[in-house]
């Protein structure tokens, strides 16, 4: 029976693969023909279009003709892009046309219908689907892992079905390697095989092995604040990226990459995840670190990596600003090429004209409008600002264009409300010379209304390492966005970061719908490694943790009194792990510790990964714990697991939990001197 099923599935795969090859050939022919026609038409345009600007009438005719040809070319570009994207989808499916099959009996029917599920949908004739997209409603019954009577949703309508078969495949192009029928996640051979593979420098999509608790998060209905609270190795980041892909699919007519903002802790991690969405046929949304966000919004200085400001100062800015009386030093001169257009005294005079408004958006925007008109009048009449431009007056519209062209910098300065001395205002409110980046941008938003209303989703990974002030800034800057926050409170490795209880309090205080979803299964680490990092959790949390991986090797834990013995063991472990497959990370708690140990090893020291580096494809490397967050490695050596680096306080336990949980297969814990008490 098994051989017969295998042969039937191989025959179906061969048929599907050949159809995909036919579709690919047809698309390539269409693209070639379209490109040839485009080249022919562009040559025709070049040869026949007349650029005649003799008078107004002929100029208008010329411009109209150019516009017609531009639209014609745009049509080519749209069609070419559409065909190109479809060809990309087909090429991805040719690598592995699908990974699962379900057989459903619909209500009122008796004959099962088969559906093959893959990374993307493809149809042979435009409506008969050969492969359904994993994000489609009908594919949900596969991920729910419940054979028998079940259902799925289509536009708020429940479709009852009887799931007769849930089959998974391992496929390499047109070859069926294996298949199995299953309904319980922990027994999935495909999942276990995936987890046993060596790690690379890039995160892989988990589409074929999404588990039920992960699927709940991925397909969860839209809420204003969704907090995913998952243990180390539970696939939080993978789930985040799959949810972004799911949202793009569900809202494909209205949601574009620029409507999503992904916030991540460091560039190393961003580089690690940057291939997942493209592999699913989607474009990566803008991805920013905190420092990159500050640069984007125009903060004129950078502070420490993690802004330790609590909510108190930002709340004070909000409360006090409306009662603050403006003063002259709250404003800047407006200049052009180093010459003053309006002094800050002039600006202050305008501000005083609108004293009926309190300090805030209405006052500053009203002042900006008035300043722009006054500046234009000054720039029209003072030749000192017009040394390099033609001064001959023309029509009103021509004069307006001249002012815009010649003095756009000064006018833009006004329109962006850069005439406000944000730092001085914040200093007055807070009574402090030192102003953090969060305080600066929050004050600017309160004064000018600066924000991004186009972003509809903000995704924050490793949210436990952000401060309350940073989350307040994001919430105010993206007023129309829904937030998805992912993290693990026990991986908070900085002081002063936000608690999950506080996130809930802030959301509810703002009147936002808040949902928290757990992820409690570790798919990353061996049971031995999982047991070690779980031992650092509170008892009630520890009891909920489980691992689905098969047993691995024992963990090496050693401490040494002498430098010689310590460095000999470290060198021996590096040499041993260098012979193993995959990636080996030598993790140090701090940059100081990393440089000290690497310096002692000299020429024998592995590569050091900095914030600007990508991970190597294989081999051994040094990495600081702060950069290792969110990443996973086949082998990990904790090189400085002493009591000083990992003290027995809460923060020390969090750091050790984070470091240990980076390992998937092999773990060695070394200390020079006294070993941390947390182990």
In the annotated binding site for ATP, the residues are 230-237
Q: Take residue 113 and report the two structure tokens written for it.
A: 């219908």
Residues with Cβ within 8 Å of 506's Cβ and at least 6 positions away in sequence, in order, are 311, 468, 471, 472, 475
* Per-residue CA distances from 676 to 169, 409, 557, 645, 673 (Å): 46, 58, 11, 8, 9
**b or e along 24-44 (b: 16 or more beta carbons within 10 Å of the residue's beta carbon)?**
beebeeebeeeeeebeeeeee
DSSP structure string for 417-448: TTTB-HHHHHHHHHT-S---HHHHHHHHHHHH
DSSP summary character for residue 192: H
DSSP structure string for 629-669: TT--EEEEEETT-BTTTS-SSHHHHHHHHHHHTTEEEEEEE
CA atoms lying within 13 Å on the CB side of residue 109: 14
Rounded (10°) CA dihedral 391, 393, 397, 398: -50
Annotated binding site: 230-237
> Which CB contacts under 8 angstroms, 24+ apart, belong to 423-426?
424/329, 424/330, 425/321, 425/324, 425/330, 425/359, 426/317
Q: Per DSSP, what are the bridge partners of residue 8?
A: none
Q: Take residue 612 and report the two structure tokens written for it.
A: 């600007």
Residue 276, φ and ψ in degrees, nearest 5: -65, -55
CA gap 352, 356 in Å, rounded: 9
CA gap 229, 243 in Å, rounded: 15
**Containing H/E element for 71?**
helix 56-95
* Cβ(496)–Cβ(308) below 8 Å: yes
Greatest CA span in the chain, whole angstroms? 93
CA nearest 574: which of 638, 657, 661?
A: 638
* Cβ(156)–Cβ(122) below 8 Å: no
In a 10 Å sphere around its CB, with 0-12 CB exposed, 13-18 middle and 19+ buried, how is residue 304 labelled? exposed
CA nearest 227: which of 452, 458, 455?
A: 458
DSSP summary character for residue 216: H
CA atoms lying within 13 Å on the CB side of residue 353: 13
CA nearest 636: which of 549, 524, 560, 551?
A: 524
CA nearest 630: which of 178, 160, 225, 233?
A: 233
């Amino acid at each position: 029976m098994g051989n017969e099923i295998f042969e039937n599935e191989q025959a179906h795969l061969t048929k599907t693969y050949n159809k995909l090859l036919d579709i690919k050939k047809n698309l390539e022919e269409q693209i070639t023909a379209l490109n040839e026609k485009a080249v022919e038409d562009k040559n025709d345009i070049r040869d026949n279009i007349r650029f005649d600007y003799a008078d107004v009438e002929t100029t208008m005719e010329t411009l109209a003709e150019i516009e017609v040809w531009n639209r014609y070319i745009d049509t080519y570009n749209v069609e070419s892009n559409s065909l190109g994207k479809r060809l990309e989808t087909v090429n991805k499916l040719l690598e592995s046309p699908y990974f699962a099959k379900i057989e459903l009996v619909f209500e009122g029917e008796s004959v099962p219908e088969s559906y093959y599920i893959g990374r993307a949908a493809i149809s042979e004739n435009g409506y008969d689907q050969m492969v359904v997209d994993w994000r489609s409603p009908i594919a949900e019954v596969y991920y729910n892992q419940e054979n028998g009577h079940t259902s799925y949703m289509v536009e708020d309508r429940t479709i009852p079905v009887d799931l007769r078969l849930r089959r998974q495949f391992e496929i390499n192009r047109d070859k069926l390697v294996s298949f199995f029928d299953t309904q319980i996640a922990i027994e999935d051979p495909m999942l276990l095989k995936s987890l046993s593979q060596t790690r690379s420098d890039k995160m892989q999509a988990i589409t074929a092995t999404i588990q039920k608790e992960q699927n709940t998060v991925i397909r969860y209905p839209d809420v204003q604040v969704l907090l995913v609270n998952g243990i180390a190795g539970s696939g939080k980041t993978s789930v985040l990226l799959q949810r972004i892909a799911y949202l793009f699919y569900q809202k494909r007519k209205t949601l574009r990459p620029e409507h999503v903002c992904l916030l991540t802790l460091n560039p190393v991690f961003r580089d690690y995840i940057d291939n997942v969405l493209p592999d699913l046929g989607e474009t990566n949304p803008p991805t920013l670190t905190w420092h990159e966000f500050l640069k984007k919004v125009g903060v004129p200085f950078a502070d420490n990596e993690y802004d330790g400001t609590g909510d108190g100062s930002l709340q004070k800015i909000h409360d006090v600003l409306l009662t603050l009386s403006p003063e002259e030093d709250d404003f800047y001169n407006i200049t052009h090429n180093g010459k003053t257009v309006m002094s800050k005294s002039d600006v202050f005079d305008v501000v005083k004209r609108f004293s009926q408004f309190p300090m805030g958006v209405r006052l500053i925007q009203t002042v900006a409008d008035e300043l722009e008109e006054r500046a234009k009048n000054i720039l029209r009449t003072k030749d000192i600002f017009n040394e390099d431009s033609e001064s001959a007056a023309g029509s009103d519209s021509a004069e307006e264009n001249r002012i815009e062209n010649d003095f756009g910098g000064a006018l833009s300065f006004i329109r962006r409300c850069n005439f406000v001395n944000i730092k001085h205002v914040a200093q007055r409110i807070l009574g402090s010379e030192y102003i953090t980046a969060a305080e600066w941008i929050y004050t600017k938003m309160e004064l000018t209304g600066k924000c991004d209303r186009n972003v509809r989703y903000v995704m924050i990974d490793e949210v436990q390492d952000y401060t309350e002030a940073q989350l307040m800034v994001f919430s105010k800057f993206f007023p129309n966005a829904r937030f998805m926050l992912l993290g693990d409170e026990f991986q908070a490795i900085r002081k002063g970061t936000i608690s999950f209880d506080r996130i809930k309090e802030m959301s509810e205080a703002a009147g936002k719908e808040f949902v928290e979803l757990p992820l409690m299964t570790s798919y990353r680490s061996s049971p031995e490694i999982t047991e070690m990092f779980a031992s650092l959790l509170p008892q009630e949390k520890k009891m909920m943790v489980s691992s689905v991986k098969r047993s691995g090797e024992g963990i090496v834990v050693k401490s040494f009194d002498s430098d010689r013995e310590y460095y000999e063991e470290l060198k021996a472990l590096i040499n041993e792990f260098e012979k193993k497959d995959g990636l080996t990370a030598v993790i140090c708690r701090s940059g100081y510790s990393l440089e000290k140990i690497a310096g002692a090893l000299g020429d024998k020291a592995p590569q050091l990964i900095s914030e600007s580096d990508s991970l190597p494809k294989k081999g051994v490397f040094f990495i600081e714990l702060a950069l290792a967050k969110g990443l996973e490695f086949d082998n990990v050596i904790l090189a400085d697991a002493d009591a000083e680096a990992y003290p027995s306080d809460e923060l020390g336990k969090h750091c050790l939990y984070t470091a240990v949980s980076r390992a998937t297969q092999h773990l060695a814990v070394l200390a020079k001197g006294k070993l941390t008490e947390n182990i």
